[in-house]
Amino acid sequence: MALHSYRIAREPYYRPAGDEIALFEAAHADRLPVMLKGPTGCGKTRFIEHMAWRLGRPLITVACNEDLTAADLVGRYLLEAEGTVWQDGPLTLAVRHGAICYLDEVVEARADTTVVIHPLADDRRALPLDKRNELLTAHPDFQLVVAYNPGYQSVAKDLKESTKQRFAALEFGYPTAATEAAIVAHEAGIEPAMARRVVAVAERSRNLRGRGLEEGASTRMLVHAGRLIARGVAPEAACRMAIVLPLTDDPDLRDALAAAVGACF
């Protein structure tokens, strides 16, 4: 089968923070387009991987950037010895064969690129391939999911109203301390007590959000710190390497954050 390599073999670890799994399953049952919103590193991508595994659907992920063209999504003709041959883009692949297509950081894509998903995200569920003169009707299993971080979008980077209003949305945030500690303990393979300390570091950094830091430490950062600790790095050094230094270049904040890390261990 065309999408075999896009199937997820092993269960990706995901710890629900609320009823997002049930909500997504309901949306998937009706193939509603879904938008995942939340800060970086809070588990949006992991969630969709988990859901794809859970629902038994292949998952095609596209990381959007400002150079992504509509052709990069839809497909293009390629040159071969005997002529041209059409190559489906990732979106077309998902539409044709029935996968979940996940557009990560969708606001980064240019506005003209995001427009190609419009006919797929309403009741038409079709993708016009103008270069091929083909109107591709979506496979019954196809579902469109996009993700973005509302935090750092600028005035220039926001989804068009016509795009936004085609989606149902799930909001993600950092999990509660206990949940987050369980995630860090599981993902990094460290003791729960140590994981709680690492989460305490994250709370310290999140306290500084908007007071010098754009964003506090993400769950992903905590997992990185935890992995260093699991490798035998001293906790303070691990947090400095995985959290404090990446977060800020401001010497005062760095100093304050390092001192606050010291208070956690």
Partner 1 sequence: MDGVDGNITLADVERRLRAYGTALWGVDPPLRPLVGEGDPAALRPRFDADLVRLPVVWPSLDLYRAALAHVGAHRMFSRPWPAKGLKPLLIIVVSLVEDARVEHLAMRRLPGLRRLWAPFHRVEPSPSLMAADLLERLARALFDAGYRDGNAWVDKGQRLFFERPERWDDPEFSLRLGGDLAGDLGKTRVQINARGHRVDPAYRDDNGGLWLHDTPPEPPRDTDDPLEAVRPEPMEGEGTRRTGPPQGSPSPPPLAVAENTALRPVARHPEWDHRIGLHRPDFVQVIEAVPEHAPPLSTPADARLAQRVRALVRHAVVARPERLRRQREGDALDLDACIAASAARRHGHVPDLRVYRRVRRRGRDLSVLLLLDASQSTNDPAGDGTVLDLERRSADLLAGALAAVGDRFALAAFRSDGREAVHWLPVKRFDDAYDAAARGRLAGLDGRWSTRMGAAIRHAGATLATQPTLRRLLLLVTDGEPSDIDCPDPRHLVEDARKAVRELAGRGIDVVCVALGGDPRTHHRIFGRRNVLPVDRVERLPEILPAVYVRLTG
For partner 1, the binding residues (CB under 8 A) are: 67, 71, 76-79, 83-84, 154-156, 197, 200, 203-205, 207-208, 211-212, 252-253, 255-257, 259-265
Between residues 69 and 141, which has the closer beta carbon with respect to partner 1? 69
Between residues 74 and 99, which has the closer beta carbon with respect to partner 1? 74
User: What is the rounded distance in angstroms from the CA atom of residue 232 to the CA atom of residue 228?
Assistant: 7
Between residues 51 and 74, which has the closer beta carbon with respect to partner 1? 74
Between residues 83 and 140, which has the closer beta carbon with respect to partner 1? 83
Beta strand 126-129 with 134-137 is antiparallel
The H or E element containing residue 84 is strand 83-88
Q: How far is the CB of 211 from partner 1 (least distance, A)?
A: 5
Beta strand 59-63 with 100-104 is parallel
Between residues 71 and 241, which has the closer beta carbon with respect to partner 1? 71
Q: How far is the CB of 205 from partner 1 (least distance, A)?
A: 7
- DSSP-derived letter for residue 176 is P
Q: How far is the CB of 258 from partner 1 (least distance, A)?
A: 9
User: What is the rounded distance in angstroms from the CA atom of residue 187 to the CA atom of residue 129?
Assistant: 42
Q: How many CA atoms lie within 13 A of 54 on its CB side?
A: 16
The H or E element containing residue 137 is strand 134-137
Q: How many helices (H) and strands (E) does the chain have?
A: 12, 9
Vertex 164 angle, CA 163 and 168, to 5°:
120
User: What is the rounded distance in angstroms from the CA atom of residue 150 to the CA atom of residue 169?
Assistant: 12
Between residues 13 and 86, which has the closer beta carbon with respect to partner 1? 86
Q: How far is the CB of 31 from partner 1 (least distance, A)?
A: 32
Q: How far is the CB of 61 from partner 1 (least distance, A)?
A: 23
Other C-beta atoms within 10 Å of 67: how many? 10
Between residues 20 and 72, which has the closer beta carbon with respect to partner 1? 72
For residue 183, give every residue at least 6 positions away whose Cβ sits within 8 Å of its Cβ, in sequence order, or none.
13, 15, 43, 175, 219, 223
